[in-house]
Chain A
Amino acid sequence: MRLHEYQAKQVFADAGIPTPASQLAETVDEAVDAAEEIGYPVAIKAQVHVGGRGKAGGIKLVESKEEAREAAEDIIGMDLKGYHVSKVLVEEAVDFVNELYVGVTMDRGEGRPVAMVSTKGGVNIEEVAEEDPDAIAREHIDPAFGMHPFQARKVVYEAGVDREVANDVASVLTTLYQLWDDRDGADTEINPLMITSDDEVIAADAVMNIDGDALFRQPEIAEMGEEAAEGDELEQKADEYGFDYVRLDGNVGIIGNGAGLVMTTLDLVDYYGGEPANFLDVGGGAKADRIANALDMVFSDENVDSVVFNIFGGITRGDEVANGINQALEQFDEIPKPVTVRLAGTNAEEGMEILNEDLVTVEHTLEDAVQRAVEYAKEVEA
């Protein structure tokens, strides 16, 4: 779960990391007032989870009240790569001489956290990692000990940070690791960490991704996450139903159980010449009402022309699934989109007998079911 910049900055500031003066604004007037109070120049920054916000016009540097008003009018309410901007952060513009990158993340290959520092801050760090991996110094942390003070110093010096500011940067990194550890961070990073001409360090951006599985013990963060929730209507609906759901661009709706099998169903739709509209995993042991909810979700996606259900029952029972499908489809006078069903595993035989073949097409193998659903989608298209 990802916090907004203004939320992450608040968390960082509370922990003692220097951040620029800033205020959150939801209207143009609020933004202008904030800019006047902070003093120019200020940056007006859209609060949405979009990479490359600046390039897309979501961040503007302004020098006067008029410019502040103009920028706030442009940004508040704008559509930034599909995300509606409802909040901006108005922030003191920092006069910097250098930009660093500082981050802590879980290295899944090593099974332990890694602290990273680079003097190539201010740009997309993933590009740096790819093009010039040596420009990022890395230090793995033993979770049994936490980060030793020397490790923070080591990675800062290895990165080539100037001696004048090294101690302050190491101190920021130490705090960042503490936050990562205490708040169940997935990734926490500052990019850029600005160095001023007076050798001060200031976190000009803040990223805090929290492990969604740990929210039960991070109530404050979980609350911030509710404010930060975004995504399109269907993705929010999926959250309410408790489905793993990802919306895609195609027209074949896909419902299945288990992440690997649902991904495989998507891949097969593509393999047989169709285009998947979504990933929807109903999870293990889904009962009839859950199945009906899943169908409702996929039907309400207007891009969908055909739906394929692929259930391999382990703990999920075929008869439950079949009842759910019947229940969902019997409400309609006319079935809105053709549904192809394939059931296998636990109680699959019983399930297939229960299915109302006036309402759905039943196939016996995964490959046949996917091909049928792709055909239906093409017929609707044509």
Chain B
Amino acid sequence: MSVLVDEDTRVVVQGITGGEGKFHTEQMLEYGTNVVAGAVPGRGGQEVAGVPVFDTVQGAAREADANAAVVFVPPAFAGDACFEALDADGIDLVVAITEGIPTQDMARVYRKLQETDTHLVGPNCPGVITPGVAKLGILPGNIFSEGNVGLVSRSGTLTYQVVDNLTNRGIGQSTAIGIGGDPIIGTDFIGALEQFEADPDTHAVVMCGEIGGEDEEEAARYIGEHMDTPVAGFIAGRTAPPGKRMGHAGAIVSGSGTGTAQSKITALEDNGVPVGDTPEEVADHVEDLL
């Protein structure tokens, strides 16, 4: 078992004819992902990496039975691409990889999202992987291993680091979800934690947060009140100065002191979540929890 992505996931890649879209479609296919279609306006009828291309996401859903979309569209058009995927009948998961989508575009997408049952992961994220089954996005498949630990993170490479620490000890993963580093994202920590809590094969969860916003604090309260599955945590950005954006658009401690690492760490610990000082220590905590 797993969350969001399983054997029945049938992927349409939006932007499959672009450099990134094509490269990662090949990588996804190689990993065993069931990529059934691409969607690029004006390119219907073509093929990329043996995958048929449609002009619209709706066409891909109807003709190729796609039920999940991965967005590799450039930032200026990615908001619209998310809308298209959310609007298409039959698509129930959208994973937006694109980095640099204007925030106001995402506010509109977020508004649309409230009206649908579709899950949106991202944007500005590495994607979702269920090891041994399928990956949607750009995560390097070879570092993951099959198992029972769920992982949710705002950052791509930090996810790889923590997964590496787990895999090296023989601790496999059920599903890893990169929720993305932007100020406005679809699935947040709580959304991902709800999925893991409902999955009988996820026995523990690692949550990797970072400075900025208050999602981690809210997630900590959710864990305290609603979760039986144990969670271990990590927070990046303890040394970040206020007012400086640390790479991710969302990773910034505001001048008034909200969004600090300490506030997040305290909230997690107060709700029974052990927080590692190093990625290696996170793996120690997971080992204890299992």
Q: Which residues of A contact B (CB under 8 A)?
A: 51, 106, 108-109, 111-113, 126-127, 129-130, 142-144, 181, 184, 186, 211-214, 216-217, 244, 246, 248, 256-264, 266-271, 276, 279, 281, 284, 312-315, 344-346, 365-367
Contact = CB atoms under 8 A, between A and B. Distances in A.
A330 B100 CA distance: 35
Contacts of B240: 246, 263, 266, 279
Interface SS, B side: loop
A302 B41 CA distance: 51
Interface in B185-232: 208, 210-211, 213-215, 218
5 contacts: A108-B250, A184-B103, A259-B181, A259-B210, A260-B157
B258 to A, nearest CB: 9
B238 A270 contact: yes
Contacts of A257: 157
Given A111-B107, A143-B111, A271-B277, A366 B247 contact: no
B246 A263 contact: yes
B256 A106 contact: no
Given A111-B106, A143-B104, A264-B161, 4 more contacts: A143-B111, A260-B181, A314-B139, A346-B140
Contacts of A214: 102-104
A260 B155 CA distance: 5
B92 interface: no
B160 A314 contact: yes
B255 interface: yes
A236 B76 CA distance: 25
Given A126-B254, A258-B156, A271-B278, A313 B140 contact: yes
Interface centre among B237, B251, B277 (most CB of A within 10 A): B237
B48 interface: no
Interface string B232-243: 001011111100
Nearest to A215: B102
A323 B188 CA distance: 38
B157 A276 contact: no
A262 B234 CA distance: 14
Interface residues of B, number: 62
Contact of A213 (B103, B215, B277): B103
A126 B246 contact: no
Interface in B37-84: 75-76
Given A109-B214, A112-B107, A259-B181, A244 B247 contact: yes
Contacts of B244: 246, 279
B29 interface: no
B50 to A, nearest CB: 22
A346 B160 CA distance: 11
**Which 3 residue pairs of A and B lie closest in terms of their CB atoms, listed nearest first?**
A260-B155, A259-B247, A258-B157
Given A111-B184, A281-B247, A345-B140, A259 B107 contact: no
Contact of B157 (A127, A184, A217, A261): A261
Nearest to B186: A111
B256 A126 contact: yes
Nearest to A145: B111
Contacts of A279: 240, 244, 246-247
A204 to B, nearest CB: 21
B279 A264 contact: yes
Given A214-B103, A345-B143, A111 B256 contact: no
Contacts of A186: 103
B101 A213 contact: yes
Contacts of A112: 107, 110-111
B158 interface: yes
A314 B239 contact: no
Contacts of B101: 213
Contacts of A143: 104, 107-108, 111
A260 B254 contact: no
Contacts of B261: 267
| Most interface-central of A111, A144, A211, A281 (chain B CB within 10 A) | A111
Nearest to A128: B256
A260 B249 contact: no
Contacts of A261: 155, 157-158, 160-161, 236
A312 B213 contact: no
A266 B246 CA distance: 11
Contacts of A269: 239
A273 to B, nearest CB: 13
Nearest to B212: A108
Nearest to B249: A213
Given A270-B239, A279-B246, A130 B256 contact: yes
B156 A260 contact: yes
B154 interface: yes
A259 B246 contact: yes
Contact of B236 (A263, A284, A312, A346): A263
Contact of A258 (B142, B158, B279): B158
B100 A106 contact: no
A108 B251 CA distance: 12
Nearest to B108: A143
B123 to A, nearest CB: 10
A346 B143 CA distance: 9
B248 interface: yes
B153 interface: yes
Contact of B76 (A217, A268, A344): A217
Given A112-B110, A211-B102, A367 B184 contact: no
Contacts of A267: 236-239, 261
B280 interface: yes
Contacts of B90: none
B138 interface: yes
